[in-house]
Amino acid sequence: MYTSSTLALAALETLVHFETPEEPEDLVAIAADIPEALEILSIRAEDLPEGWTRDPAPVALADLGTRWAHERSSPVLAVPSAVIPQELNYLLNPLHAHFKRIRVGKPEPFRFDPAPALIGH
């Protein structure tokens, strides 16, 4: 599961992938509460494969995430955002035994401010 450290970063991560200037009408936001006692493994930008910010991302980047998930070394992996590398995204591993300690909220409708600068009009 791919998440962001803030709703604003999640919104930006979504916005950069819109293929048309029209905002989808079915966007939702879902909060996830990661307990402080839960282990979070971190990867620094300099430890990521070359070209990790490219779109599409290099296969080595997906391989890194797949390996982490299968090894079950932690329930959460903190990684830099390709959109804003100073900010963090969190991968949640449903295969990990402690994943069930993460509380996932209910989907809530989400929409961007209809200002023209935000939606490309």
78-97 pLDDT per residue, tens? 999 999 999 999 999 999 99
**Alpha-carbon gap, residue 84 to 56, rounded angstroms:** 16
Which range marks the domain in which residue 102 is found? 2-119
> According to the model, what pLDDT value does residue 17 have?
81
> According to the model, what pLDDT value does residue 121 have?
47
Give the number of domains in the chain. Answer: 1
Type of residue at 43 = I
Cβ neighbours of residue 90 closer than 8 Å, sequence gap 6 or more: 3, 4, 5, 32, 34, 40, 76, 77, 78, 79
Percent of the chain residues topping a pLDDT of 70: 93
Is 20's pLDDT higher than 80? Answer: no
Is 4's pLDDT higher than 70? Answer: yes
CB 81 within 8 A of CB 87: yes
Strongest mean pLDDT among 12-26, 39-53, 101-115: 39-53
The pLDDT of 69-80, averaged and rounded, is 96
How many Cα atoms are found within 13 Å in the side-chain-facing hemisphere of 78? 13
